[in-house]
Homo-oligomer: A and B are copies of this chain.
Amino acid sequence: MGFTLAELNEADVPDFVAALGGVFEAAPWVAEIAAADRPYATVQALFAGLRAAVEGVDAARRHALLVGHPELAGPAARSRSIAPASIAEQEAAGLDRLSEAEYARFEALNRTYRERFGLPFILCVKRHGRASLLRSFEARLASDPDTERVTAEAEMFRIAAIRLDSLVTGEGGLRTTGRLSTHVLDTAAGRPAEGVAVELLEWVSEGEAALVTRAVTNSDGRTDHPLIGGRPVPIATYELRFRIGDHFRRTGAGLQEPPFLDIVPVRFSVGDPEGHYHVPLVATPWSYQTYRGS
């Protein structure tokens, strides 16, 4: 369910708060304050209004806002007694499917963090793969309280921006999404390679790759939908696996068995979740090239 910017500009305050009360965790008061400054010309302006509301309150209340966030893979999350948006975000990051050992690790990290900074660890999990999430957690444990409060608020605003962007349609969106796409060309035949099975995996830890998605190229050599789209591309190391050997078996170009090339792995990292990563494969039975395209 979503809203248009126009609807939100015209809604009475209770409806406005009902719509946007969840953008900041457990803090409908942010929307309540921002409601007064309507109308907003763009979604960006609306987000700036919410941000100003947060920045306008006293230090205690700002601190409470951070404290109100649930821990990652914490008890509250496990018992699903947190905001629906948080549940969805943590599930998307696979935090609801951790092994007991991993839960234990998160519990230890959460405890240490809370003791050190008096806050729950806040991170925009939609922008991180599993390995990156743990790297960030450990890196931030080494930070100092002042820097860390700034970082935590920045992450809170990132979470809010993504939630708002998915709730509201209208002028001047917040560009909180990236894209990962591919394209397979057969330069032995001078044609797009159709029907090539492609797997996208994420390296969740040293030596462990988890399947993200599967697709098959269409008559234009592309997948019908981006491999990742409509959301940030999590910061992670990925591997695309192209079953190019099967393609050349079909076209009859791959004469010998075993073929020189069969499954082609392409490993790359994403550091900019809002970026567009186009990773094509230009192949013959005896060669291939890949690059960051556009």
Binding site for B on A (CB under 8 A): 183, 185, 187-192, 220-221, 235, 237, 253, 256-265, 267-272, 282, 284-294
CB A83 to nearest CB in B, in angstroms, measures 31
Across the interface, A187 reaches (CB within 8 A) one of B192, B221, B270, B287, namely B287
Q: Which of B220, B263, B294 contacts A294 (CB 8 A)?
A: B220
Question: In the complex, which of the residues B191, B253, B289 contacts A289, with contact meaning CB atoms closer than 8 Å?
Answer: B289
Closest partner residue, chain B, to A258 (CB atom): B269
Q: Enumerate chain B residues within 8 angstroms of A270, measured Cβ to Cβ.
A: 258
Show 24 A/B contacts (Cβ-Cβ < 8 Å), sorted by A. Answer: A183-B294, A185-B293, A187-B287, A187-B292, A188-B286, A189-B286, A190-B285, A190-B286, A190-B287, A190-B291, A191-B294, A220-B294, A256-B272, A260-B269, A260-B271, A260-B292, A261-B269, A282-B291, A284-B291, A286-B291, A287-B289, A287-B291, A288-B291, A289-B289
Contacts of A272 in B (CB 8 A): 256
Q: Is the CB of A256 within 8 A of B282?
A: no
Q: How far is the CA of A269 from the CA of B258 in the complex (A)?
A: 6
User: Cα distance A271–B260 when bound, in Å?
Assistant: 8
User: Are A259 and B264 in contact, CB atoms less than 8 angstroms apart?
Assistant: no
The 10 closest A-B pairs by CB, nearest first: A190-B286, A287-B291, A289-B289, A187-B287, A258-B269, A190-B292, A192-B294, A188-B188, A286-B292, A187-B291
With both chains docked as a complex, state the minimum distance between the C-beta of A246 and any C-beta of chain B, in angstroms. 14
Q: Give the complex CA separation of A287 and B261 in angstroms.
A: 18
Q: How many copies does the complex hold?
A: 4
Q: Are A260 and B264 CB-contacts (below 8 A) given A185-B291, A284-B284, A292-B187?
A: no
Assembled-state Cα–Cα distance A267/B271 (Å)? 25
Instruction: Evaluate contact between A294 and B185: CB separation under 8 angstroms.
Output: yes
Is A188 within 8 A of B265, CB to CB?
A: no
Known: A192-B294, A258-B270. 6 other contacts (CB 8 A): A187-B284, A187-B287, A187-B291, A188-B253, A260-B292, A261-B267
- Quick check: A294 and B264 within 8 Å, CB to CB? no
Q: Most B CB atoms within 10 A — which of A192, A265, A269, A272?
A: A269
Complex alpha-carbon distance, A253 and B292, angstroms: 15
A262 partner, pick from B187, B221, B263, B267, beta carbons under 8 A? B267
Max chain B C-beta neighbours (<10 A), residue from A253, A261, A268, A292: A292
